[in-house]
Amino acid sequence: MEERLDEYRKRLDKEEIPADLLDHAIEAGVQMARQEQKRRPRRIWILSVAMVAILLVGFSSIGKIMELIQHDKGLMSAVEHEYYEEIGVSEKKNGIEFVIEGAIADEKGLVLFYTIKTDEKQTNLSFEDIDLKVLDGGKINPSSISSGGLHKRENSKKSSSGMLEFFFRDNLTSREFQLKTAVKGDGVRENFSLNFSLTKEIRMKKVYPLNKTVVIEGQKIDFVEATIFPLRVAIHLKIDPNNTKELLEIEDMRLVDEHGEVWSKILNGTTRTGVTEHEFIYYLQSNYFKEPKELYLAFGKIQAVDKEYREVVIDTEQMKILKQPPGNRLKGLEIYGGDIRMKLYTEKEFPYGIFSEVVDGKGNTVDITSNYMSSRRDEGYTLSGVTIPDLKSYPNPISLKLSFFPEWIIGDEKIKIK
Amino acid sequence: MDEQLAKEAVAGDEQAFLQILKNYKVDLYKTALSYLRNEHEAIEAVQEVTYRAYKNLPKLREPAFFKTWLLRIMINYCNDQLKKKKRVVYDDDLLSGHGVEERYRDVEMDEALQLLDERSREIITLKYFHGLKIREIAAVFDCPEGTVKTWLHKALKLLREQLEEKGGEDHGREIG
């Protein structure tokens, strides 16, 4: 009996822990209690009201949207502040209806909320092409498009909702748009073309120069500026090229206000972009509508490896890992067709696909068609892989540049934003 | 458990309180998950329990038993939620969404635990899933250790009976 209870506990222990979400929940709980002590509780209940709305109402338009954005405090706050705009444009063809429900836009980005309704149940809907044009003159060059939310579902459905996120290099000044896309399901494929316009006034970004150099374990980072948009916060930073370590990822970058409320990194979407080799923009959830008196940028845990080990070097003929950061965490090199895979052993969960660029034995950059990871926590490793068409044609040794790795430099930094 | 931290929290130090809650977030989350069996509801539960704990902090008499105290608030909250849930009619789509999260569970044990009375389930959760000592449980229930032992004995007996009623069937532990 006790053995079986113990086994049950072990199964429970294997559940993934959404650590960041739990931290948010705890902070929100404290804030709820604290605000209630000061005055009557009102707005702070919105999160729970939204959750209840999702559970009870289920498929009202705003309930759907709240469900999609529940992991992003900034987007939730934009909706609470009525910065979300209903669109309600749709097109139906051969049993598939594509609806643009609404949008949130700022100077650099546009998030469209859509629903796809099908006459037949679908298990695997996907987009084939996504193209956004402006109809009132001018051009837009999306620097990134993501269609997160529409993925393979375990249960077939007649209705799926999701978000299309566009971020632009130039300022978004247009008000009239055309979205063209193709939706593919089980045995069907349809093209859609929908025109829509935005009417809500775009809220201007707020820019705060930081001009601060931080040194952690001898490694320097220059923080240039923080730009607060309604959709996200962009932190521009430069890494000192003379550092002895390659700084890979600032894991715990977050905004903190004078009450200790925290806004973390974007959980679902673009978390950072590279400007140059040593210059990056990190994206955090937005506190645009919060207007705190004081605001800080805090962090302290940075993935870093000695520059000498910024690449993992392998030989695909001898099937050997020739070089990797000390500790031999990488094992079990496998090659399947064009896929190179390795197991990364870690004590704690490490949910990153660790490789980015690949270079061949002659120093030429190799095209990667996909980059993936799969967590095998019960066996203690994460499988990281890249897919390279025509892998056999590249001369050995192959170098895989690390973009994440479970080695850290630790500090405790707090930079005043305002 | 850092008793000093607990004392500071009870004395009104908010950072200490946050730190303790974050230290126990995994315990709280797993308790919620075992009762509510839904990730989103479990996260929501952690928020609500933080709120309740913060408000009731002055009532915590023994900082040394902070963890047990938090887990009890969580279990009470979950019991309330389960009662409410029985009255809610679920949307079909939502319900099918929930099914996915129940992989890798010992379904029989899940069901048997659900059929226990609240106190028996609570005692088993604290003792076996969180490894709390009889003494710690007795302290927060404010009763003699002997009583906790009796309850535990009874709870295990009930659980065994529940499991035996289903006995003979194929185990079918992994679904999905």
B161/A68 Cα distance (integer angstroms): 43
Question: Is pLDDT at B104 greater than 70 in this prediction?
Answer: no
* Average pLDDT value for residue range B61-74: 86
Q: Which residues of A touch B90 (CB under 8 A)?
A: 55
A272: left (phi over 0), alpha (psi -120 to 50) or beta: beta
Given this model, what pLDDT does residue A359 score?
94
Handedness of CA A399, A401, A404, A405 (dihedral sign): positive
- From residue A395, alpha-carbon distances to A296, A320, A330, B96, B100 in Å are 49, 14, 22, 50, 45
Q: At what angle do helices B14-23 and B39-56 cross, to 10 degrees?
A: 150
* Average pLDDT value for residue range A1-27: 81
Given this model, what pLDDT does residue B86 score?
54
Number of domains into which chain A is organized: 3
Q: What is the pLDDT of residues A328-376, one digit of tens each?
A: 999 989 887 788 989 999 988 888 889 888 999 999 999 887 777 777 7
* Average pLDDT value for residue range A234-247: 96
Look at strands A381-387 and A188-197 and give their pairing. Answer: unpaired
Q: Comparing A183 with A106, which gets the higher pLDDT?
A: A106
Tell whether A10 is covered by a domain: no
Tell whether A229 is covered by a domain: yes
Domain at A184, CATH number: 2.60.40.1630
Given this model, what pLDDT does residue A100 score?
94
Interface of A with B (CB under 8 A): 1-2, 4-9, 11-15, 17-19, 21-23, 25-30, 32-34, 36, 47-48, 51, 54-56, 58-59, 70, 154-155, 157, 159, 260
Other CB atoms within 10 A of residue A404 CB: 20
Same domain, A243 and A159: no
A91 falls in which pLDDT band (50, 70, 90)? very high
Same domain, A248 and A177: no
Q: DSSP readout, A112-149?
A: EEEEEEEEEEES--EEEEEEEEESSSS---EEEEE-TT
Domain annotation for chain B: domains and CATH numbers: 1-94 (1.10.1740.10), 106-169 (1.10.10.10)
Tokens of A252: 């715990």
* Average pLDDT value for residue range A140-160: 64
Given this model, what pLDDT does residue A238 score?
96
Shortest distance, CA A18 to any CA of chain B (angstroms) = 8
Point out the residue among A8, A22, A154 whose CB comes nearest to the CB of B46: A22
Q: CB of A321 within 8 A of CB of A375? A: no
Same domain, A316 and A380: yes
Tell whether A349 is covered by a domain: yes
CA A342-A346-A347 angle, to 5 degrees, is 160
A389/A337 Cα distance (integer angstroms): 8
Q: CB of B145 within 8 A of CB of B138? A: yes
Q: What is the pLDDT of residues A245-284, one digit of tens each?
A: 999 999 999 999 998 889 998 876 778 888 888 999 999 9
Same domain, A178 and A95: yes
Nearest of B151, B82, B158 to residue B113 by alpha carbon: B158
Tell whether A313 is covered by a domain: yes
Is residue A73 exposed (0-12), middle (13-18) or buried (19+ Cβ within 10 Å)?
buried
Tell whether A270 is covered by a domain: yes
Given this model, what pLDDT does residue A61 score?
64
Name the domain boundary from A146, A168, A197.
A197
Question: Is pLDDT at B99 greater than 60 in this prediction?
Answer: no
Same domain, A288 and A313: no
Given this model, what pLDDT does residue B95 score?
33
Given this model, what pLDDT does residue A41 score?
34
Question: Is pLDDT at B171 greater than 90 in this prediction?
Answer: no
Tell whether A328 is covered by a domain: yes
A226 falls in which pLDDT band (50, 70, 90)? very high
A151 falls in which pLDDT band (50, 70, 90)? very low
Q: Residue A82: helix, strand or coil by DSSP?
A: coil
Tell whether A89 is covered by a domain: yes
Q: What is the pLDDT of residues A289-343, one digit of tens each?
A: 988 999 999 999 999 999 999 999 999 999 999 999 999 999 989 887 788 989 9
Question: Is pLDDT at A378 greater than 50 in this prediction?
Answer: yes
Q: Comparing A84 with A4, which gets the higher pLDDT?
A: A84
Given this model, what pLDDT does residue B175 score?
32
What does DSSP assign to residue B88? P
* Average pLDDT value for residue range A34-56: 42
Same domain, A220 and A248: yes
Same domain, A140 and A186: yes
Point out the residue among B34, B40, B96 whose CB comes nearest to the CB of A155: B96
Q: What is the pLDDT of residues B126-160, one digit of tens each?
A: 888 888 888 888 887 788 899 999 999 999 999 98
Cis peptide before A397 (omega within 30 of 0): yes
Question: Is pLDDT at B174 greater than 70 in this prediction?
Answer: no
Cβ separation of B17 and A30 shorter than 8 Å? yes
Q: Comparing A124 with B5, which gets the higher pLDDT?
A: B5
Same domain, A226 and A155: no
Q: CB of A74 within 8 A of CB of A288? A: yes
Question: Is pLDDT at B102 greater than 60 in this prediction?
Answer: no
Given this model, what pLDDT does residue A127 score?
81
Torsion angles phi and psi, residue B66, rounded to 5: -55, -50
Question: Is pLDDT at A47 greater than 80 in this prediction?
Answer: no
Name the domain boundary from A197, A222, A252.
A197
Domain at A275, CATH number: 2.60.40
Same domain, A166 and A218: no
Same domain, A127 and A224: no
Name B161's Cβ contacts closer than 8 Å, sequence gap at least 6: none
Say which residue the tokens 């290099």 belong to: A169
Name the domain boundary from A197, A231, A249.
A197
Give the mean pLDDT of chain A: 85
Point out the residue among B93, B129, B176 whose CB comes nearest to the CB of A58: B93
Tell whether A30 is covered by a domain: no
Same domain, A366 and A283: no
Given this model, what pLDDT does residue A37 score?
55
Handedness of CA A101, A71, B44, A289 (dihedral sign): negative
Amino acid identity, position B26: V
Question: Is pLDDT at A418 greater than 90 in this prediction?
Answer: yes
B106 falls in which pLDDT band (50, 70, 90)? low
Question: Is pLDDT at A8 greater than 90 in this prediction?
Answer: no
Cβ separation of B47 and A26 shorter than 8 Å? yes
Given this model, what pLDDT does residue A241 score?
95
Cβ separation of A21 and B43 shorter than 8 Å? yes
Given this model, what pLDDT does residue A337 score?
76
Which residue in chain A has the smallest CA separation from B163?
A1
Same domain, A91 and A183: yes
Q: CB of A78 within 8 A of CB of A230? A: yes
**What percent of chain A is modeled with pLDDT above 70?**
90
Domain that holds residue A363: 308-402
Nearest of B130, B135, B114 to residue B62 by alpha carbon: B135
Which residue in chain B has the smallest CA separation from A27?
B18
Question: Is pLDDT at A405 greater than 50 in this prediction?
Answer: yes
